Structure 1
Amino acid sequence: MNTAIKPLFAAGVLLALSACSGTYNSYLDTLQLAFTTPDDVELSLKQVREARSDLMYVRHGERSQAAMALLRLEAGQHKWVSADNALLIMQQGRIVRTVGFSNDLLYLTNTQADQLSQPEAINPAIEWLRLADWQNGEYGYALSSRFSVQPNQPLRYFGHNFTTTQITEQVSYISPANYLRLDKPWQNTFWFDSQTGTLLKSVQQLAPFAERFEMTYISRIARLIPADAAAADAGGDSE
């Protein structure tokens, strides 16, 4: 991920998470080709379809686009691992915990009320409230979100056009910061395939002081493309 990783801590957590699965090494094998260059990772449709696990592109801040593999699905949470042992733990398409970054998100409350669990029933009038705990001594920060929906948004991957429903989340901090900081409102964006409801892409910023994550679910995208469809041998740029 080319970020400030705490390798020993992250590796310990990953070992605990993968001890029963026996598949961690195969995930790292899958990711080796994605970390052979400092440039953006671009995988072909064939490479994505032949991968041993689900893959997604991740761009963290201004860093190059990397790839992460799905380590496991557990209790409704998707755990994604990078080749340098960073973890993104996601629920209903939202990052709810991170491992191996400079200031990890430790916990997010009230996730059962997140409207992303039913994107087809988004209600702009409903406010979602929750608390966030951060590693660097910041606990119980209250956040507020409201959602809006924009249908018929085009995306293009592997030479194939998708029509998506774009959900925009307006986020703001309710709690004051523990120290001087510009806690301005921000937004997250999620694109769901209009036909299947599959989440194809999201851009998420976890806090006003955090760098954003741009995530593209290339394995999910590959499964939506017919096997006999003509596709470009490029790795997932959207238009």
Structure 2
Amino acid sequence: MALHAEYHLGCAALPLVDVAAAVPDAEIELSIGLGEGERPRFTAVVTAGPETTAAVEAEFERTPFVGESRLVVREGDTSRYTVAPGTSMAEQLGDHLDDLDDLRALYETPVQIEFIRATATGWVQAGRFADRAAFDELREFWQRNTTFRLRKLARVGDDAEGRPGSGVEADDGDGLTDAQREAIRTAHRLGYFEIPRTATLDDVAAELGISASSCSERLRRAQTHLVETHVGSEAPFAGQPP
């Protein structure tokens, strides 16, 4: 039975974790593409206001992982970059993993990584696995090397639309980023969710010290994730980050 999993990898050496730690207000999502040898190209999508985005770009210049970054498109508070690594896999992770060959083999197994989010403490990933054995292989590798925290694990149904099946495991975390959790708690405290509302989006944004558009994006992502996690959805998982 195919599985869908979301989990946290607590490794500070993973790409752009240092950037996320330096600029905690930014949301940084990654995807890995084809590259040369041990230096695959990355795409980084940064969601933040102008000042925070500028801080992320400054950190791109500082981190050894980024050899070259190029802005592809900017739409509102969302900026997409291509990133050419300045370090190889061995240089980036060699001192932190027991066997890089095991890591290479791991991602040749039947797994589809749906999203990667860089955080101040590691990566949050979500993916689909062909079966429990494929998931256990990944889990056991990361448990040998670093902190592995499971957020969600559910069976994926075999119907035509690939709807998620019943849950298998979950931890007691809510799966939100710290920024999302702060935003939704602040909005609740100020009365943004009251009927009628006693606070506006601008009020919440001002309390958080971010732009209204960034605040709206954080609240939308947090609400979407909480609904998908605790209520469920009739639509198949679309690969969008929480």
Provide TM-score, normalisation by structure 1: 0.29
TM-score by length of 2: 0.29
Which is higher, the Rg of structure 1 or of structure 2? 2
Which structure is richer in relative contact order (CA contacts within 8 A, separation 6 or more)?
A: 2
